Structure 1
Amino acid sequence: MRRPRSHQVTMLSAIGYGLGDFYAGGQGALVSTYLSLYWNKFCGLNISFSQTVLGLSAIVSAFVALGFGVLDDNFYRFAIGRRFGRRRLFLFATVPGIFIGTLLWIPGLSAWVYACAYVLWIALVQIFATAYGALPGEMTADFNERTQLSTARLFTATAASTGIPLLGGVVLSYVGEEKPDGYLWFALGMTAAFALAVFLCWKATWEMTPSQAGFAAFEHPDYIPVHVGVAGWIRRCRKMLREYASTVKIAEFRKHLVTYVLCMVSQDTFSQLFMFFVIYNWNKTAAFGSLLLSCTIISLPLMPVFARIMVKQGPRKLYVLNYSASVIGLIWFALLWATAQYSHTVIWVIFTVAGSLWMLSCKALTNYIPWAVFPYMADIDQIVTTRYRSATFLGAQTFIRQSAGGLCSLLIGGVLSFSGFDATHRVQTQSAHIALVALFLGIYALCVLVGWLASRTLVINRNTDNLVLQEIQRRRNGGVATDIDPQVCHTIEKMTGVAYEKCWQQ
């Protein structure tokens, strides 16, 4: 069932891999754009409760990532993993689990049913994302091919982020926004589409064999599974926590982690508040907001440009471009809010569409860069530990990202509730308007500022990653530490934060 590592990444396999983010990214677009609004308007949940559910679920997801990352990396220890794969088995299991999401959109259920269903939904997304995110490093070691996979993934995610609001806006315009039917049937249709996309992703991808991943001993005919008691599981939990703690010893990963978390928190804030901002601060409809979100389509032809800059210039210069453009976009949106009294004019609408095109292009780039960088973190770690621990790094990264995102959601719900915001009222108080603006633009601006400072010191690019891979291969072939080129040694020490004599500890 697992194809050999030597299998080439083609355009077709890259597209197949990218389809996974139609679910991972698309469900985020569906939920963040409509779910909180839907719960507030049709399910009797107030903004404080709905944001609390979103926030606490993200924190639960963080702990799922923490436990699942190490399990996924070590799943070849078990017969079922060696039979069906340590990554792709979980992709396949996600397909039927996706239909749990239908419970989120049925009006009239208990608040706790919605809460429990969402916790299960977000945990499933996390399990999928951990296995899915580790695949590029398993499918190929080539920088360009990994960039091709990352580009296909982000292209698909952007297409989903564009198409879902666009289609949602059409459905709501046709069915009407004042009854739940349009939201319900649209969400059910998208749920089925997510399941199909994950199935196709499973069919198109492959992973390392147990021997390639360092688990050859478990394939030996004489291998006898060892019974693990309670004390053994406690030891394994301690070891798991040490594994995660060891990831932040890698200097380049720490810098990447800061930029990644800030990028994702800014995305969460934008996604959760954009529709509320459009409806209550711009006095427009949800259908209008959905059509504005479809402006993300402008970023699709930009994806190859992003990829080319990534390969040629590296992520540091791409971050500078992104943060500079984001500042312009934030100022643009602030001006639109200041002139919202003219929202009925054609000029204001044109200015709004242009601003949305600009800002959503920045948003797509903000999402692209850290995911294009991530596959190289495990390479840097491998020169230190000799192991390829991509899922462990993904688990650690996701734990911090989801925890930060969950706390941000709780902050949003608390501030809006305190300000007197009530989604059932068409007209909001002045304090609610100001709170929406402060959260929507302020959090994004803070993330941009701190992220720019953190990204200035990144070292990883195509050349430095190739140096790491060449050194890994040299050491595998029996090369000794004292024969390393001084410039290569300096680069590796700068990226790992570890003295070279402490690297390659088998």
Structure 2
Amino acid sequence: MSGTETNNKKITLIHKLAYGSGNMLGSGALAISGAWLLYFYTTFCNMSVVKATLIFSIATYLDVILNPLMGFITDSFYRTKLGRKFGRRRFFILTGIPLMLLYPMLWVKNMNFFYYLTTYILFEFVYTSIMIPYDTLAVEMTSDFNQRTYLTGFKAMFGKLANFLGAAIPGFFIGMFGKDSPLPFFYTGVTYCVIMIISLTFLYFNSWERPYEDVAEENIPNFVEGIKKLFVDIASTLRIKTFRQHLGMYLFGFGAEWLFTACFTYYIVFCLNQPSTLVSELNSLSSILQLISTAIFIGIVAKKGFAKPFIAALSVVIGAILCFFGIFVFHIAHITVLVFGVMVIFGLGTGGVYYIPWTAYTFMADVDEVVTNRRREGVYAGAMTMAGKLMRASVVFILGQVLAAFGFVSGASTQPQSAVNAIAGVLLVGVGGLAIIGIVFSCRMKLNHKTHKIVIDELDRVHAGGRKEDVSEETRSVIEKLTGISYDKCFGNNNIGYKE
């Protein structure tokens, strides 16, 4: 399907707000669980840090199986009556609305290990079954570079609003019930459950997809062929050069942020000896600043592409990490004021780190279509989310192992100096190191506004009956740089992806 055949209904402010609101689940639920769930398990649930991090790892590794499967299901769901009636993407958003009731169940105290493992696995599965179809909607709704940029910009800004609420709501309830009570976390779960239900309902009724008639149906004769297609297609995404570069940006940029989120509460409480309420205040400030920086990065990305803005954002994050480490090492006075100052720097960079990879993702299927002559948005959403979940599980698991190795004591109000030093070391070496690797991948990214337009124009030309032999040298060169494939082998003339 060419770019001009994509369903391009007028996108109004309501549609942008509705699309963005879906990220109240994507960012908010993760922000709360990322900042507090490990702390909740080790403080109020009589659980060791190794067992607590094991929950995250087991659930995420199981979810990795679901990610590509969900991409395959949502791409193929138009073959069913439910898909044709409710949408191959939006059906899963609709069914996910009542399943948000699982979220408060994560925050019940004094249950056993298997309860927490089961509830977390279930919520991760529900989360994935909604977010992978949701991530494809911007591609479904428009093929225009700027319109997609603004849709994903609203998604990112709502993500920052979700981050703010994810920090402010626990802080409000901690202030009400005290830092030694588990009730703030349960009430946070209930409150955010209501927010997610409202947001997903708003999204469902104000979004759309390509018409069923405009989506080429692939013949999958049986279950075995379906499983084969799933694995072949997921593996084939790595053969696209731009996606490999993008995946490196995403995994290591987000990996730095995930590791920071997982250890920041420990850094504030144990390295700086500050109350846990300060974490909530700092995260709230960071979310506001990320909202501002995201709005700035939307305009920058539209003009400059993805690579340079992402490098700038990660550089700011690295600078902030060095400052946080310096505050700990040198025992600088006026800690609270300094930490707030550094968080201002961190928040301004983090907005770009979160926004840019998920904006770049929406253009991967266009580059892929040049190679495979297919539309595989769901495959790319599944591959990207699967890789992200693996990275997130790995960094959290490694954090738990490092802290345990250096003597971290679950439930204790203070920690041995070896554990405190380990927390600071993870912040510097772990977070900073991942960010540096993200910068390396960014330097190789060639996709931008200009090269994307060349891709779309060539898709339109060839699909309108133009001969491949008539391609211009500039177009040939751009496509080969973006795909890593000889132009002569593009448009399905290769063995990349599933073949019927």
User: So what's the TM-score if we normalise by structure 2?
Assistant: 0.95
With 435-444 and 290-299 compared, the bigger mean Cα shift is at 435-444
- Whether the 8 Å CA contact 2:293–2:349 is kept in 1: the answer is no
Which of residues 22, 25, 28 in structure 2 aligns to 1:20?
A: 22
**Mapped pair 1:446 → 2:433:** yes
Q: For 1:423-438, what aligned pairs fall within 5 Å after superposition?
A: 423-438=410-425
With 168-177 and 138-147 compared, the bigger mean Cα shift is at 168-177
| Amino acid in structure 1 at the alignment position of 2:444 | T
| Amino acid in structure 2 at the alignment position of 1:244 | I
Q: CA deviation at 1:141?
A: 0.4
In the alignment of these two chains, the number of paired residues is: 487
**Mapped pair 1:317 → 2:308:** yes
1:480 aligned residue? 467
Cα distance between partner residues in 1 of 2:441 and 2:292: 28
Q: CA deviation at 1:461?
A: 0.5
2:172 aligned residue? 170
Which of residues 31, 42, 57 in structure 1 aligns to 2:59?
A: 57
With 481-490 and 327-336 compared, the bigger mean Cα shift is at 327-336
2:284 aligned residue? 294
- The one-character-per-residue Cα deviations of 1:203-258 (angstroms, maximum 9, x if unpaired) are 1111111222223x99xxxxxxx9x6xxx312221121111111111110010011
| Amino acid in structure 2 at the alignment position of 1:247 | T
1:255 aligned residue? 245
1:329 aligned residue? 320
| Amino acid in structure 2 at the alignment position of 1:325 | V
1:211 partner SS? helix
Q: For 1:102-251, what aligned pairs fall within 5 Å after superposition?
A: 102-215=104-217, 232-251=222-241
Cα distance between partner residues in 1 of 2:240 and 2:454: 16
1:408 aligned residue? 395
- Report % sequence identity: 23
Cα distance between partner residues in 2 of 1:341 and 1:423: 28
1:428 partner SS? coil
| Amino acid in structure 2 at the alignment position of 1:289 | V
Q: CA deviation at 1:361?
A: 2.2
- The one-character-per-residue Cα deviations of 1:43-75 (angstroms, maximum 9, x if unpaired) are 111111111101221111211102111111111
2:497 aligned residue? none
Q: How large is the RMSD of aligned CA atoms in angstroms?
A: 1.6
Cα distance between partner residues in 2 of 1:267 and 1:321: 15
**Mapped pair 1:467 → 2:454:** yes
Q: CA deviation at 1:442?
A: 1.6
1:223 aligned residue? none
1:266 aligned residue? 256
2:351 aligned residue? 364
Cα distance between partner residues in 2 of 1:383 and 1:325: 35
Which of residues 245, 266, 271 in structure 2 aligns to 1:276?
A: 266
**Mapped pair 1:420 → 2:420:** no
Structure 2: segments with no counterpart, 5+ residues: 1-5, 494-500
| Amino acid in structure 2 at the alignment position of 1:352 | V
| Amino acid in structure 1 at the alignment position of 2:268 | V
**Mapped pair 1:375 → 2:370:** no
- Whether the 8 Å CA contact 2:35–2:262 is kept in 1: the answer is yes
**Mapped pair 1:40 → 2:27:** no
Structure 1: segments with no counterpart, 5+ residues: 219-225
Pick closer, same or farther for the CA change 1:316–1:497 going to 2, 3 Å.
same
- Whether the 8 Å CA contact 1:40–1:423 is kept in 2: the answer is yes
- Whether the 8 Å CA contact 1:55–1:408 is kept in 2: the answer is no
Cα distance between partner residues in 1 of 2:64 and 2:293: 32
- Whether the 8 Å CA contact 2:289–2:351 is kept in 1: the answer is no
2:3 aligned residue? none
| Amino acid in structure 1 at the alignment position of 2:19 | Y
- Whether the 8 Å CA contact 1:281–1:340 is kept in 2: the answer is no
Q: CA deviation at 1:418?
A: 1.6
- Whether the 8 Å CA contact 1:19–1:156 is kept in 2: the answer is yes
| Amino acid in structure 1 at the alignment position of 2:158 | T
1:263 partner SS? helix
Q: CA deviation at 1:304?
A: 2.4
- Whether the 8 Å CA contact 2:253–2:314 is kept in 1: the answer is no
2:363 partner SS? helix
Q: CA deviation at 1:341?
A: 6.6
- Whether the 8 Å CA contact 1:251–1:496 is kept in 2: the answer is yes
Cα distance between partner residues in 2 of 1:455 and 1:234: 38
Q: CA deviation at 1:485?
A: 0.7
Q: CA deviation at 1:117?
A: 0.5
| Amino acid in structure 2 at the alignment position of 1:457 | R
Cα distance between partner residues in 2 of 1:117 and 1:150: 30
| Amino acid in structure 1 at the alignment position of 2:28 | G
- Whether the 8 Å CA contact 1:59–1:402 is kept in 2: the answer is yes
- The one-character-per-residue Cα deviations of 1:165-212 (angstroms, maximum 9, x if unpaired) are 123212212220111122211221111211211111111111111222
- Whether the 8 Å CA contact 1:37–1:423 is kept in 2: the answer is no
User: So what's the TM-score if we normalise by structure 1?
Assistant: 0.93
Cα distance between partner residues in 1 of 2:409 and 2:331: 20
Q: Which runs of 4+ in 1 moved over 6 A?
A: none
| Amino acid in structure 2 at the alignment position of 1:95 | I
**Mapped pair 1:354 → 2:341:** yes
Cα distance between partner residues in 1 of 2:25 and 2:296: 24
Cα distance between partner residues in 2 of 1:447 and 1:16: 33
- Whether the 8 Å CA contact 2:46–2:411 is kept in 1: the answer is no
1:221 aligned residue? none
2:329 aligned residue? 338
Cα distance between partner residues in 1 of 2:10 and 2:398: 46
